[in-house]
Structure 1
Amino acid sequence: MTISRRHRMLMLCSLTAAGMLGATSVSAAERSPEGPELHSFPPAFGFSMLNPDVDAPGTNDWSCRPTSQHPRPVVLVHGTWENRYNNFAELAPALKRDGYCVFGLDYGDSDDNGAGLHPAVKGTGDIRRSAAELADFVDEVLAATDSSQVDIVGHSQGGVVPRQYLKAEGGADLDDPANNKVRNLVTLGATHHGTTLSGLATLADHLRLLGVGQLVLGEAATQQAQGSEFMTELNADGDTVPGVDYHVIATRYDEVTTPYESTFLTAGPGATVRNITLQDGCAIDASDHLSMTYSGRAIDYVEQSLDPTAPEPRCEPNPPVF
């Protein structure tokens, strides 16, 4: 993959600016520090490299209580080699401003994290183990907010981990869906049916260009390859479980989840699926895999998925990272 000198300079400027923002991180007595609200992936990624343990702004306020308008807390699940901050530095505060209780976790450390991976690089370990981590986190959120269900919003692998949680880690009650712990699952660019190895290699190349250094694919990445044992098992009994509404957001310019249509789901008994392509009705949104969580249109679709009374999604430009 080649990249222009001008593009490299623009990314360096973004990362330098992110580093200058490091001193603005704030902390609360019982919470991790919050990073600043940022509006594109490269500076958020750069900030997280310097501040690997920050929360996305507006998240993990354990005193938050859901309202009648937004009765379920929202759990954000990041993608492969991302983390709870750099994936959601714009989406999380948007949800918080609109009255949601928003929570986000880092998950998926692997043995490789002790062998040279940057501490901000998450989502590399076995997806089955990550789903168990999500199960524990959801239980903490439900207990803290006195809620019976959550809504989950996930990017890339962050859509697959919740599906594994629903199918195998107690997220859904197949005998009585009224007892499900998840009401809505909203995914962006999720690798629901696997991706080509070239797509996974593209993501690794992208992150190296942004300064991670040497990356190993990791078990989670290989589990997301088309035809893998994990993907075959995850989808063996259909894409959905009863009692959950699935909202699947795709971009035609996704160079990681390839082909992009592989993210779409098919509804099984007792479930609903809405498959959305960002460019339908809005050709000027050029979001790629890494920039789609920073698309105003995608954020609006997330809000509409959580609350059908939300306004129709806006149409505005959003550039790709690459």
Structure 2
Amino acid sequence: MTFLQNRYIGLVAALLLMGTAAAAQTLDCQTTQERMPASGLTPNPKSVATVPLDKQKAGYVRVGGGCEVSRFGFESVHAAVMVQNAPDGDFGWRCKGADPALVSNPAWARASVTYCRASDASGATLPLQCTTLTKKTGLLRNPTVEVTLTPALVSDGYVVVSGGCDTSHFGNGSVHAENVVISRPTPGGQGWYCQAADPPNNGQDATVEASLVACRVGPTAVTPKPSLQCTVTQGTQGTGAYPKSITKGASKALGGGCELSYAGNGSAHAEFMVQQGPQADGSWACLAADPPLISNPGTAKASAVSCNLTTSTLPPPVTVPTTRKNPIIIVGGTLASEIIYWVLEGRLRADGYYVEFFELPGGGLIDIREGAQALKYRIADVLLKTGAEKVNLIGHSQGGITARTYVHDYGWRLVDNLISLGTPHKGTHADPLLAALLVGCVGQPTDKPICTQLRAGPFLDEINKRASDDDIAYTNINSVKALDVFTDGYTNGRMDNCDRTNAQGQTLKCNVTVQEDCPGNLVEHVGLASNGVVYSGVRQALNRQPIKLDCSAL
């Protein structure tokens, strides 16, 4: 053979050897299950599956796990509520079922734990290192939470391999067991997202805690140094009664997600998550079940996280924009309690928004700037809870002035849309007797600051000034003076120079008077917060669409 032929054969052999060495770097992953009770049923069952001791000694580490609870047709009379499906210590995974609201329901719970060992071409163990991060909400309605990798962990080579959710239940923060309806990796794979939903017909405050497990190959003398590379595979959405979704990635699923329908998002009630975990063939399963005594067709969608070792240079993490809607804070009016806004809250939640109500401090009878400062802290709290970058503010009556005072005093950058309902931007036209009865304003120097702040004058003149780069989309919806004792859509309820253009080039009219579009609608001041016609405009404003009120809306 010629020199060139020999050199060519040698090069091919070298490449084959390199390929063999790379292929020999393996990630061996196994799964163990633990059912409690081992046989029969028990109230509120809890199971913890743990990496076997001999596997721990052999270098295996816990990377993920899953949970399955009994349900109708599968040994229980009703579906148990899965309230815990999350990492437990360094080597375990916990799974807990709880009774549905108002129903005694003995059941079983089966936890799965998945553990892996990384090895090099010689079979020697590579240092696979994992860490767990958690984030928990306070007591909220339909709580959501997202935990994400820190920049330091990303820089150190950690990637998310699995995650899970815990929700409150009887004896653990809630009156009833809260249903986990979403547990999945975040877009971009750098975090874990959890959402819980109210039990059927039982609205309640509850907590939810998200956990993620992130792993890397630690320092090693092996060159080139292998890294852990993970991908998320989305399953096909299952529909109908007891919807099921199964998906499989390029290798065994180490973790995975499950997303179910719930009230306002595809189902009349929240579906019960009864299975979320690894299967014998390496796939990931997500199964939902009906609540007790309720036929509730819904949807389920699985996602699987699968990982492999690679010596290739990994691209930097891609930040995928989320399609989740910005949360909404409803800022109530003077002396207004939350009950006035229950209908509005329900409609917004049905449209997929996270909603909180902000009651004016002191009933709105104190300095408006104090209320704006309190609103500042609430906005920061909501952004922290939800992981959002901006909020939407809906202010009713004085609540609109308080929201605008916040923007004036603290800036516009944390607000996406500001919608005001019946807000006297240029000063209320309430007669002195009504003002005296409601707020105690008698026209004397001893009057509270609120008495002059809600009248035309220096305070509102200042608040009505907006920064030149203010990017908020403003919308004001009002009735006419004949129907509203405080505000008129054609005079004191108007804002100046506030029309905007949306991304499609459409003009967004800022000032909307209900009777201009719907002359037969006689909504008054308080009713603006619950009127269906008004809400049709609120929905369009939140979507930054030109407003055309639906006069037939209830």
Shift of 1:98: 1.1
1:233 to 462, 480, 484: 462
Tell me the residue number matched to 1:256: 486
- Whether the aligned pair in 2 keeps the contact of 1:196 and 1:226 (CA below 8 Å) is no
Q: How many Å separate the matches in 1 of 2:384 and 2:477?
A: 29
Number of aligned residues: 235
- Whether the aligned pair in 2 keeps the contact of 1:183 and 1:245 (CA below 8 Å) is yes
- Whether the aligned pair in 2 keeps the contact of 1:242 and 1:268 (CA below 8 Å) is no
Structure 1 residues 100 and 59: alpha-carbon distance in aligned structure 2, compared to 1, 3 A threshold:
farther
Q: How many Å separate the matches in 2 of 1:145 and 1:309?
A: 25
Q: How does 1:131-150 map to 2 (within 5 A)?
A: 131-150=372-391
Shift of 1:108: 2.3
Tell me the residue number matched to 2:454: 224
Shift of 1:31: 3.3
Unpaired runs of at least 5, structure 1 = 1-28, 35-56, 110-121, 173-179, 208-214
Q: How does 1:70-85 map to 2 (within 5 A)?
A: 70-83=324-337, 85=338
- Whether the aligned pair in 2 keeps the contact of 1:79 and 1:87 (CA below 8 Å) is no
Q: How does 1:87-106 map to 2 (within 5 A)?
A: 87-106=340-359
Shift of 1:71: 2.2
- Establish whether residue 280 from structure 1 lines up as the match of residue 516 from structure 2: yes
Shift of 1:312: 5.5
Q: How many Å separate the matches in 2 of 1:64 and 1:225?
A: 46
Unpaired runs of at least 5, structure 2 = 1-136, 143-201, 211-320, 442-447, 502-507
Shift of 1:63: 5.2
Shift of 1:284: 1.6
Structure 1 residues 61 and 188: alpha-carbon distance in aligned structure 2, compared to 1, 3 A threshold:
farther
Tell me the residue number matched to 2:424: 191
Q: How many Å separate the matches in 1 of 2:488 and 2:436?
A: 14
Q: How many Å separate the matches in 1 of 2:402 and 2:469?
A: 14
Shift of 1:250: 1.0
Q: How many Å separate the matches in 2 of 1:78 and 1:204?
A: 20
Paired letter, 1:79: G
Structure 1 residues 58 and 242: alpha-carbon distance in aligned structure 2, compared to 1, 3 A threshold:
farther
TM-score normalized by the length of structure 2 = 0.38
Q: Which stretch has the larger CA shift, 188-197 or 258-267?
A: 258-267
Give the SS at the match of 1:88: helix
Shift of 1:97: 1.0
Tell me the residue number matched to 2:405: 164
Paired letter, 2:371: S
Paired letter, 1:152: L
Paired letter, 2:416: R
Q: How many Å separate the matches in 2 of 1:239 and 1:221?
A: 26
Tell me the residue number matched to 2:392: 151
- Whether the aligned pair in 1 keeps the contact of 2:330 and 2:358 (CA below 8 Å) is yes
Q: How many Å separate the matches in 2 of 1:310 and 1:99?
A: 20
Task: Give the share of equivalent positions with the same residue, in percent.
Answer: 26
The structure number with the bigger radius of gyration is 2
- Establish whether residue 123 from structure 1 lines up as the match of residue 378 from structure 2: no
Q: How many Å separate the matches in 2 of 1:163 and 1:248?
A: 12
Give the SS at the match of 1:280: helix
Structure 1 residues 33 and 304: alpha-carbon distance in aligned structure 2, compared to 1, 3 A threshold:
closer
Runs (4+) of structure 1 exceeding 3 A deviation are 29-34, 57-65, 67-70, 200-205, 237-241, 268-273, 308-313
Shift of 1:255: 1.4
- Whether the aligned pair in 2 keeps the contact of 1:155 and 1:293 (CA below 8 Å) is yes
Paired letter, 2:455: A
**When you count helix as a share of all residues, which structure comes out higher?**
1
Q: How many Å separate the matches in 2 of 1:304 and 1:234?
A: 26
Paired letter, 2:459: F
- Whether the aligned pair in 2 keeps the contact of 1:75 and 1:151 (CA below 8 Å) is yes
Paired letter, 1:256: F
- Establish whether residue 302 from structure 1 lines up as the match of residue 538 from structure 2: yes
Give the SS at the match of 1:104: strand
